[in-house]
Amino acid sequence: MITRLTGSLVEKHPTEVVLDVQDVAYLVLIPTSTFEALPDRGARVSLLTHLHVREDAMTLFGFATSDERAVFRMMLAVSGVGPKLALAALSAMRPVEIRAHVSAGDAGFLTRIPGVGRKTAERLVVELRDRFEKLDLAGGGPDGSASTGARGDVLAALEALGYSRSAAEKALRAVEKQHPDEKSIEALIRLALREQ
C-alpha cells in the first residue's frame, strides 16, 4: 500500500498532480482543497495517499491533510459511494463541514455535492453518523478533546449549516457559557444546534 508520496511537483491541476519521486512520475488525483494548498511547480511536496485498486485500474488519490484522507476512506465504505464521489465531496466541503452535516442529519445540504442525490445523501447520514462520532478531526486529541482551533471549526461548521456568522457566534457563546469544560468539536456543534 502506498500511504505517502514525497517528491518534486512536476504538474499541478485542480483535479490532479504529477509527482516525481526519485525519477518515477506518479499521477495523483486530488480534491480542490489539496490543490489550493500546493506550492509552485518544481517545489518539493508531500501528499498522504490512498491507493484504490480495481480489476482494470490502480488509482492514487492524494490529500494535503490526514482529515481529508480519513473522511475519503470513510465515505468509500458507504454503499454506492466511489472514489470520484468522495473526492467531489471533499472538493465541495471541508472534512469538518461534511461531518457537521452528517452528524446533524442534514441530508438535504449533502445533495449540494455534485453527484449526490437524496438517497445517497440519506445513506451517508445513516452509515457515517456513528463512525464520525469516533473520528478525530481538526487536530483534536485522541481522547476527543478539541484543539485550540476548535472554536473556528465549530463556527465554520455552523456557517456551513446555514447560520449567519453572528448567529453562529451567539449560539457558540451560549454553549461555552453553559458548558465551559466541553472541548469536543462534535459536542459543541450539537449543543450549538440546540440553541436555535
The enclosing domain of 116 has a CATH number of 1.10.150.20
CA 144 to centroid of chain Cα atoms:
17
What is the per-residue pLDDT for 129? 86
126 and 157 share one domain? no
Residue-by-residue DSSP string for 102-114: HHTT-HHHHTTST
52 and 109 share one domain? no
What is the per-residue pLDDT for 149? 55
CA 68 to centroid of chain Cα atoms:
4
106 and 51 share one domain? no
Are the C-beta atoms of 153 and 185 separated by less than 8 Å? yes
25 and 58 share one domain? yes
Q: Is residue 142 part of a domain?
A: no
Check which CATH number belongs to the domain holding 38 and give it: 2.40.50.140
58 and 75 share one domain? no
Distances (CA, A) of 116 to 1, 69, 80: 29, 19, 10
Cell of 141: 486529541
82 and 129 share one domain? yes
Full-model pTM: 0.69
115 and 86 share one domain? yes
Contacts of 179 (CB under 8 A, 6+ apart): 187, 188, 191
**Cell numbers 461548521 label which residue?**
157
Contacts of 54 (CB under 8 A, 6+ apart): none
Q: Is residue 114 part of a domain?
A: yes
Please give the tally of structural domains in the chain. 3
Q: Is residue 112 part of a domain?
A: yes
54 and 82 share one domain? no
Q: Is residue 22 part of a domain?
A: yes
188 and 161 share one domain? yes
pLDDT tens sequence for the chain (196 residues): 788 999 999 999 999 999 999 999 999 999 998 998 899 999 999 999 999 998 898 999 999 988 899 999 999 999 889 999 999 999 888 888 888 888 888 888 888 888 889 999 999 999 998 888 777 665 433 333 344 356 777 877 887 788 877 788 788 888 888 888 887 888 888 888 887 6
Q: Is residue 126 part of a domain?
A: yes
Contacts of 178 (CB under 8 A, 6+ apart): 191
166 and 123 share one domain? no
Q: Which domain holds residue 154?
A: 150-194
What is the per-residue pLDDT for 188? 86
